[in-house]
Amino acid sequence: MKRLNNQRRQSGGRAFTLLETMMALVIIGVGVLAFVDAHASFSRSNGWSSQAATGMLLANEIREMTRRLPRHDPVTGLTLSGGGGSAVVAGWGREATEVAISDIDDLDDLDGMTFGAGGTFAGPIDGFGNLVQEISPEGMVVIDPVTGEGAALPGWTQSVVVQKVDPYNFNTIRNPNYVQDAGGAYPAINVDEFPVRVTVTVRYQGAGDTQAIEITKLTWVVSP
């Protein structure tokens, strides 16, 4: 009997005490909290990484699209009518007959253009001018319920700025109608003989974001 009592005491002593349980909970809780926080941080940084990669991809798509383009319109060129201070430039920006992305045939057509929601054209677009479509986690193209066609990658815009720049200083911006008159040590440079600098800014606006944020910016210069 005595032996039995001893056994009972011994078995009751093996259970977790309240203190033990509390301490264990605290320790595990700290661990879980740290893990959750780390996971949240991981998700955020992974999202940033994904956005950065997507942004650079979209910027490079515009870069690819422009590789085949001359600086100014192959048909009408960039010309001035009139002279002196009243000279009017023709040919900067899209020409009147260029109404679709496939009509873009020179770099200055792209000046001020945005591809994406609220922009000049739907977007974002790829190097062939096609819509970059949203892909579901299952790897399927998401269909726009309104149009019945593939939905555009949501929240992304590609904005393009094309600037005429000085041949020897790419940060000296020239107006489209600028010509360099011969004088002093420098020769005359016609209105269409300047380099152009192209800057593509890719922005993203998430579903809950109040405004789009700049993801990346890509700049290059095309010489005559």
Partner 1 sequence: MRSVHPDKVRTQGVAGGAPMNARRRLFKRWGKRRGVAAVLAMMFLMLFGSLSVAMAISSKGNITTAATHLHVSRAQSAAETGLSVARARLANAAGRFVISRSDVDSSFGWNLWSGNLTSLGQSAVLRPRTGRQDVALPDGLAAALAEDHSQDQDIVTEVGVATAAIGNAPADSGSEFKSTYWVFTPAVAVEPRTLGSTTPPLAYSITYAPLANGTDIRAIATGYDFAYSRAGQPVKRTISQDFRMAKRVKSAIISPSRIMIGKNVMVSGDIGSRYMGVTYANGNPLTLRSDFKGLNATLDQKLAAFWASLPTYDVDGDNRLRVSHPLESVGIPSGTQDFDGDGVPDQAFDDVTGDGYVDEFDLFIRHYDANGDGRVVLSHTLTAGTPAANETPEFVTTGGDDVDEDLALLIDSSNPDRNKNGVYGFVDANRNGRWDAGETMLDYDSATNRNRDQVLGYRDGVIDKKDQYAKVAGQVSFRVDRSAWTSAQGALQPILRGPIAPTDGRAPMTFEASDVNLPDLNVTIFGPAQSNLQAAADGAPFANQVATQLGVSVSALGTYVESNPAGSTQPRYLRVDGDANYDGLPDNYTTAYFEKMPYNAPSFTDYYYRPVYENMVFKDIQIPAGTNALFKNCTFVGVTYVRCEQDNTHVLWGEYGRMVIPVGQTRPQPRSPRIIYGDDAGETQYPAMLPSTARPPSQNILMCTSHPLDQADLPSDQAAAVTDFNTLPLPLIINGLRVVDTKKYSNNLRFHDCLFVGSITSDAPQGYTQVRNKLQFTGATRFVQQHPTSPDDSFLNPQPQDMADIRTSSMMVPNYSVDMGSYNSPPTQDLQLNGAIIAGVLDIRGNASVNGALLLTFSPVLGQGPLRDALSLPAGNPADFNTTIGYFGPSDGEQEGLDPAMLPVIGGVRIAGWDIDGDGLIDVGGDQAQPAGSTPIPFYGYGRIQLRFDPKMAIPSGIMLPMQMDPLAGTYKEGHS
Binding to partner 1 in span 173-202, by CB under 8 A: 184-187, 189, 193, 195, 197, 199
State the number of CA atoms in the 13 A half-sphere of 188 facing the CB: 4
Residue 120 engages partner 1 in binding (rule: CB under 8 A): no
Q: Which of 13, 145, 148, 208 binds partner 1 (CB under 8 A)?
A: 13
Minimal distance in Å, beta carbon 136 to partner 1?
A: 22
Of 143 and 217, which has the nearer Cβ to partner 1?
217
Minimal distance in Å, beta carbon 145 to partner 1?
A: 28
For 133-198, the DSSP string reads: BPB-TTSPBPBPTTTSSBPBPTTEEEEEEEEEEETTEEEEEE-TT--B--BTTB--B-TT-S-EEE
Q: Which of residues 24-53 bind partner 1 (CB under 8 A)?
A: 24-25, 27-28, 30-32, 34-35, 37-39, 41-42, 45-46, 48-50, 52-53
Residue 5 engages partner 1 in binding (rule: CB under 8 A): no
Of 44 and 149, which has the nearer Cβ to partner 1?
44
Of 146 and 185, which has the nearer Cβ to partner 1?
185
Residue 135 engages partner 1 in binding (rule: CB under 8 A): no
Q: Which of 143, 144, 187, 148 is nearest to 168 (CA)?
A: 187
Per-residue binding string, partner 1, 156-175, x by CB under 8 A, is ----------xxxxxxx---
Measure Cα distances from 120 to 11, 113, 206 in Å: 79, 6, 20
Give yes or no for a cis peptide into 176 (omega within 30° of 0): no
Give the whole-angstrom CA distance, residue 92 versus residue 55: 27
Residue 216 engages partner 1 in binding (rule: CB under 8 A): yes
Q: Which of residues 55-114 bind partner 1 (CB under 8 A)?
A: 55-56, 59-60, 63, 68-70, 73-75, 77, 97, 99-100, 102-103, 105
Cross-strand pairs, 7: none
Residue 124 engages partner 1 in binding (rule: CB under 8 A): no
Q: Which of 218, 49, 201 is nearest to 115 (CA)?
A: 201
The answer to whether 109 and 95 are in contact (CB under 8 A) is yes
Amino acid at 185: A
Minimal distance in Å, beta carbon 118 to partner 1?
A: 23
